[in-house]
Amino acid sequence: MHKAYAVTGGICVSAAALIEGTVVNELVGEGAKTTGIVRVGRPSGVSAFVITLSRKPTGEFDLTRSAIAGTSRRIMDGYVYVPHKIFQPRQ
């Protein structure tokens, strides 16, 4: 699996994990089935997906909610140069 595993792929795998009869559903823990939070391991860590499914009268599934829980990271560090005429140092 690529270290930057796509979020859309994670949502699909997580949704499948909550549908009875799928291979992924046979492997997922009971906690994920009750909470709707599916954790997917990947080379650069673990992603937690929040999934809500509903079932139509026809038996088809609707993915009514999908979200990813994560943290942000700094992607830039830099300096801002402010002209002296608008900078008022504290005295």
- 71 Cβ contact list (under 8 Å, min separation 6): none
Beta bridge partners of 46: 41
> Strand, helix or coil at 63?
strand
Q: Is pLDDT larger for residue 59 or for residue 88?
A: 59
Q: What is the pLDDT of residue 25?
A: 96
Question: Is 1 part of a structural domain of the chain?
Answer: no
First to last CA, the chain: 57
Q: What's the pLDDT tens digit per position in 36-49?
A: 999 988 777 888 99
What is the number of domains present in the chain?
1
Question: Is 29 part of a structural domain of the chain?
Answer: yes
Beta bridge partners of 37: 50
Report the distance separating Cα 31 and Cα 16, nearest Å: 15
State the residue range of the domain holding 38. 7-69
> Tokens 């979020």 label which residue?
7
Question: Is 40 part of a structural domain of the chain?
Answer: yes
Question: Is 53 part of a structural domain of the chain?
Answer: yes
Question: Is 75 part of a structural domain of the chain?
Answer: no
Q: What is the pLDDT of residue 49?
A: 94
- pLDDT over 90 at 33, yes or no: yes
